[in-house]
Amino acid sequence: MHNFSLLHDDLMDGDETRRHRATAWTVFGPAQAILVGDALATLGTEVLLDAATTGGTSPTDAARAVRLLNTASRRLIDGQAMDVAFEQRDTVTVAECLEMEGGKTAALLAAASALGAVLAGADDRAADSLQRFGEHLGLAFQAVDDLLGIWGATEVTGKPHWGDLRQRKKSLPVAAALAEGGAASRELAEQLADPKGRGEESETELAARALLIEKAGGRAWTQEEARRQHTTALAALDEVPMPDVVREHFVALAEFVVVRER
């Protein structure tokens, strides 16, 4: 499902590379790339069903796992649809942006964090806590992703320079900067409302726009948001009893998400 989302995302964004590798649609064409994503999604469901026939999972738990993945897919699709719809708009609120990112990213990490436990027969309470861990971790991940999308080093992220700004992506730093309401915020809003020059801005203009977002507090707010979500994720993890060695892995994963540079 991760690949399914990424494939659609790459295609919609027109990204020709991701992490220094050519994206699937540039190699196989858009039609086949979309089909590969769909195929991976069906394979995911099959793996979960197989746990009941070849693993020790009960049919009831396999059905729970399929529902968990399926619900995540629906939220992911919904988030992606919101992202596409936002492209037609000049501005979005922080709440709308968080809802979109909750679907596009957090739903996936929530399901991924709980699936193993569900297959092993965990009760609903433990599964819910693990889902909340993944949900908040996903929001932290996306906040960091949005920061890297503007201020990340291209040679590290493998994404095109100023790509998010060039596409006028409605990411968290932008939404937070627009919400701030000061002089820099208002100038940013004016630029984004101007249909002229869309997609044709120079490197200098885009660098100036990144500075406006920073001046309006969008960068600091998003950094703080990533830390808040990280803390909330760890609190959810504390609710679930598990061996120390397993908890250390979860904590290290959460740490990686907020300190990564790509």
Residue 99 contacts a copy of itself per CB under 8 A? no
Residue whose entry in the numeric block shows the structure tokens 């965990």: 122
What's the closest the beta carbon of residue 43 comes to a copy of itself, in angstroms?
7
Alpha-carbon span 57 to 41, nearest angstrom:
21
Please classify residue 71 by burial: count the beta carbons closer than 10 Å to its beta carbon, then call 0-12 exposed, 13-18 middle and 19+ buried.
middle
Alpha-carbon span 58 to 254, nearest angstrom:
30
Of the residues 24, 41, 130, 178, which one makes contact with a copy of itself according to CB under 8 A: 41
What's the closest the beta carbon of residue 61 comes to a copy of itself, in angstroms?
9
Which 4-33 positions form the footprint of a copy of itself (CB under 8 A)?
4, 8, 12, 29, 31-32
Q: Which stretch binds a copy of itself (CB under 8 A): 70-78, 112-120, 188-196, 198-206?
A: 70-78
* CA-closest candidate to residue 174, choices 191, 199, 159: 191
Of the residues 10, 23, 24, 52, which one makes contact with a copy of itself according to CB under 8 A: 52
Q: Which stretch binds a copy of itself (CB under 8 A): 75-83, 114-122, 162-170, 222-230?
A: 75-83
Q: Which stretch binds a copy of itself (CB under 8 A): 56-64, 116-124, 131-139, 150-158?
A: 56-64
Query: Is 240 in contact with 128 (CB distance < 8 Å)?
Result: no
Residue 107 contacts a copy of itself per CB under 8 A? no
Residue 121 contacts a copy of itself per CB under 8 A? no
What's the closest the beta carbon of residue 68 comes to a copy of itself, in angstroms?
10
Residue 253 contacts a copy of itself per CB under 8 A? no
Residue 63 contacts a copy of itself per CB under 8 A? yes
Residue 197 contacts a copy of itself per CB under 8 A? no
Query: Is 133 in contact with 250 (CB distance < 8 Å)?
Result: yes
237 CB contacts (<8 Å, ≥6 apart)?
A: 129, 130, 133, 247, 250, 251, 254
Query: Long-range contacts of range 242-250, CB-CB < 8 Å, 24 or more positions apart?
Result: 250/113, 250/133
Q: Which residues of 133-149 are buried (b: 16+ CB within 10 A; e: fewer)?
A: bbbbbbbbbbbbbbbbb
Judged by CB, which is closer to a copy of itself: 45, or 91? 45
223 CB contacts (<8 Å, ≥6 apart)?
A: 143, 147
Judged by CB, which is closer to a copy of itself: 101, or 225? 101
Judged by CB, which is closer to a copy of itself: 56, or 59? 59
From residue 236, give the alpha-carbon distance in Å to each of 125, 126, 130, 249: 11, 10, 7, 15
Q: Which residues bind a copy of itself (CB under 8 A)?
A: 4, 8, 12, 29, 31-32, 34-35, 38-39, 41-43, 45-46, 49, 52, 58-60, 62-63, 66-67, 70-71, 73-74, 77-78, 80-81, 84-85
